[in-house]
Amino acid sequence: MGVRGLFNYIMYSKKHVTDLYHQPIMDLIFQASNIHRQHHTANEIQVCTLLSIKTGGCPEDCAYCSQAARYHTGVKAHKILAVDEVLQHAQNAKDAGSTRFCMGAAWREVRDNKDFDNVIEMVKGVNAMGMEVCCTLGMLTESQAHKLKEAGLYAYNHNLDTGEEHYEEVITTRTYKDRLETIGNVQKSGISVCSGGIIGLGETDADRIDMLFTLANLNIQPESVPVNALVAIEGTPLENQKRVSVWEMVRMIATARILMPKTMVRLSAGRLEMTIEEQTLCFMAGANSIFAGDKLLTTPNPDQNQDQQMFELLQLTPRPAFK
Ligand code: SAM
Ligand code: DTB
Ligand code: SF4
């Protein structure tokens, strides 16, 4: 177990996280599933929708990303979408059963300009529809975070992506410290934090454990942790990475669930290549959310019919917003 830290929150040791992570898979799933059922309604899955409001042309060098301008990935750069268009997408997502709407922009950081004013309008509009509204716009100052909070932003996504040591193998145009700073700014504004990572970037188990260790020991645990399997993108440095196995996803999800009992653990990128049986293992391991709709940001995702069939087959119920 962890010890109480300076601010009276539980701190987990690296050894504790390592021991949890390396347990026999059945023990790990069993423990995670028990904890899941103590803190969440069994069989309930939150359905979220993503929309890329500003695609491509990004100055950063994230080695996995289809939107980095420096790689030739076939993703065309677009300017920011109009507010009306975004709100129409949000309405469609709501009508299709989503309770959370996440808007992504291929920016290094937010700038105080007209584009940001438009994002503020989008946040107000989606919030007024009664959905949890989330944004992922890159680095953010404290005052920008406050503006988003005032507009009704519920969550801000800013992934750690991997462990601290492996980070510079994947991204060199910003640091892990920059990432943590933005997360701190989001926390200070009272917006809830969504932060997770990607597996399959060439990291070791120790790097995955490092990332979970950092997330679980944040002074406030993230409200949401997305676990992504790398979608290998042609033209990026990671184009030839091997697809991760379901056991790696399960191990990550279950350890996250045990360390962060109240958090929403999201089975994020990579579902298109997973069977229903594999996704079920992830839900048993404590994942309680998916992204729906036939597109993530730039890559394909299972379509609505496939997910509806999965919900019926597994007798899953959608989780309401703001629960
Ligand atoms: N530009 C902002 C940023 O980097 O914070 C927001 C958008 S970025 C696309 C959001 C997250 O998507 C990344 O942090 C990464 O974890 C995830 N992601 C991007 N490309 C991915 C890929 N090919 N496979 C899996 N996850 C990916
Ligand atoms: C997250 O961790 N995964 C989502 C969301 N946060 C923004 C994005 C996944 C993107 C997958 C690659 C793409 O579609 O471009
Ligand atoms: Fe840009 Fe975000 Fe892609 Fe990195 S992950 S290249 S910051 S859009």
Tens digits of residue pLDDT in 204-245: 999 999 999 999 999 999 999 999 999 999 999 999 999 999
**What pLDDT does residue 10 have?**
66
Tokens standing for 179? 């990432």
**CATH number attached to the domain at 45-313:** 3.20.20.70
Best mutation site among 64, 263, 268, 298 for ligand 2 pocket (most ligand atoms within 8 Å of CB): 268
Nearest ligand 2 atom to the CA of 291 is 4
The single residue of 62, 100, 208, 257 carrying the catalytic annotation is: 62
Q: How far is it, in rounded angstroms, from Cα 294 to Cα 304?
A: 7
Whether 194 is in the pocket of ligand 2, judged by its Cβ within 6 Å, is: no
The single residue of 48, 100, 102, 319 carrying the catalytic annotation is: 102
Mean pLDDT score across all residues of the chain: 96
The question of whether 135 is a catalytic residue gets the answer no
**What pLDDT does residue 322 have?**
87
Long-range contacts of 81-84 (CB under 8 A, 24+ apart): 81/51, 81/53, 81/54, 82/118, 83/118, 83/121, 83/122, 83/125
The single residue of 48, 100, 134, 251 carrying the catalytic annotation is: 134
The question of whether 48 is a catalytic residue gets the answer no
Q: 262 with 39: CB under 8 angstroms?
A: yes
Below-50 pLDDT ranges, the chain: 1, 8
Relative orientation angle of helices 304-314 and 276-284, to the nearest 10 degrees: 60
Nearest ligand 3 atom to the CA of 104 is 8
The question of whether 266 is a catalytic residue gets the answer yes
